[in-house]
Amino acid sequence: MKEFERIPVTKVQRATKFITTGAKIGTNYLKHYGKKLMNPDVTKDQLHADNANDIYNSLSELKGGALKVAQMLSMDKNLLPTAYQQKFAMAQYSAPPLSYPLVVKTFLNHFGKSPEQMFETFTRKAVNAASMGQVHQATLKGKKLAVKIQYPGVGDSVKSDLAMVKPIALSMFNLNPVEYDEFIKEVEVRMLEETDYTLELKRSIDLSQRSKNVKNIVFPHYYPEHSSAKILTMDWLEGKMLGEVIGKELPAGAADKIGQAMWDFYHFQMHQLRAVHADPHPGNFIITNDYKLGIIDFGCVKVIPDDFYNIYFRLLDADVLTDKKKRDFVFEQLRFIYPSDTAKEKEFFLGIFTKLVELLGRPFRSEVFDFSNDDYFNELFSFGESLANMKELRESKKARGVGEAIYINRTYFGLYNILHDLKAKVTTGY
């Protein structure tokens, strides 16, 4: 895999890269419309593939916030054409890594020592590389370790990156500007936290210790003495990345075991810890050799305020959709509807959010839910696709939903998708 010798770190360098990418996208559109003139039956498949490739290559060089947004968008199977989903999903754990001299420079800046001076062995090539950092394998005192190194300049460029990626997101993916601004405010907070490895170390130790009794879950041990604000060292968990396991033939009961462990882990965090591992993509989990679930990344954690928790989870009450007074109260608190909405707007948004809440809450309303049920997911994805194309949603002058819910919704969407890909049957009733 190609390695990068440097990352553009100044605002001018990064803005220039965005402008160059925009020019390539424009050229792709001109090519597409030229072909369309010659052959009206030409589809957008090649256009999507070319744009996805150019955007991904550009963001891979920039790393950081922009590439993270691409990774997040790839998890929404309703928002992006397949070409974007497949290309952007690579940002989860197989993005192009940094070259070794840049890794050494990071160690010298934080410890005054090279990796070889700190560890007995240290791989010169990254084992995994994602949007915000890359992982190398090391050994020390007979222990195999995973050492995560943050890309240079990631923390300093989050705000400007998110501002620069906005025009691409709005024009290419038909996002509502008001919704996007609400989305990005919350994303910016989480991303800035994600660039603070001192905070991640603290949360990793705390949340793994408090979750240690969840069945079939394993966590690495963390090493503060070999960690810093940009470097995080932990035990190496033996096994395969979840992404390598999904879609493969597993022993009888293994998928259900993994799926149940994941469901229990998230249920415990949501309702007991009120602090959630809010980045459920396959690059953040290891499947051990005995099919337990290893949690290897607490970079993105959403702390759930009590007042938000108390209103949000009323969406799972058995009578929330039948008791109109209760439904309207909860929907207003979560800004699905507004007191200032016209009668027509209120009727429209009550209708779509009632349907959405019913669909997403369905797994909770049975003792056991079969996530391999294609009928359910076809209905879910079809409804999501219709939402993405609704003019009323795209042109709404009000954000439909509160910022606090963004990462909770994203967590459940990611969880459902993983359980579906695993074809897991899970006990969901508690």
Q: Closest Cα to residue 309, out of 338, 270, 337?
A: 270
Domain assignment of residue 105, yes or no? no
**Neighbour count for residue 252 (Cβ, 10 Å):** 6
Say if CB 51 and CB 28 are below 8 A apart. yes
What is the predicted pLDDT for the residue at 121?
A: 97
Residue 65 lies in a domain: no
Structure tokens at 287: 């499947």
Token look-up 């249920």 returns: 267
Instruction: Provide the pLDDT for residue 77.
Output: 44
How does pLDDT run across 90-121, given as a tens digit for each residue? Answer: 444 455 577 888 899 999 999 999 999 999 99
What pLDDT is attached to residue 162? 74
Q: Is residue 115 one of the residues assigned to a domain? A: no
For residue 322, the enclosing domain spans: 239-430
Write the pLDDT tens digit of every residue in 351-360.
Answer: 999 999 999 9
Give the pLDDT confidence score for residue 73 in this predicted structure. 53
Residue 38 covered by a domain: no
Q: Strands (DSSP E) along 173-310, which ranges? A: 217-218, 231-235, 240-241, 275-277, 285-287, 293-295, 301-303
Q: Which stretches in the chain have pLDDT values below 50?
A: 1, 4, 23, 32, 74-75, 77-88, 90-93
Number of domains in the chain: 1
pLDDT score, position 166 = 72
Determine, yes or no, domain membership for 142.
no
Can you give the pLDDT at residue 111?
Answer: 97
Coil/strand/helix, residue 177? helix
**380 is a domain residue:** yes
Name the 3-class secondary structure at 135. strand
Residue 103 falls within a domain, yes or no?
no
CB 296 within 8 A of CB 242: no
For residue 355, the model assigns a pLDDT of: 94
Whether 280 is covered by a domain: the verdict is yes
- Beta-bridged to residue 122, according to DSSP, are 138
- Report which of 356, 29, 43, 61 is spatially closest to residue 168, judged by C-alpha positions: 29
Both tokens of 202, joined, read 């603290």
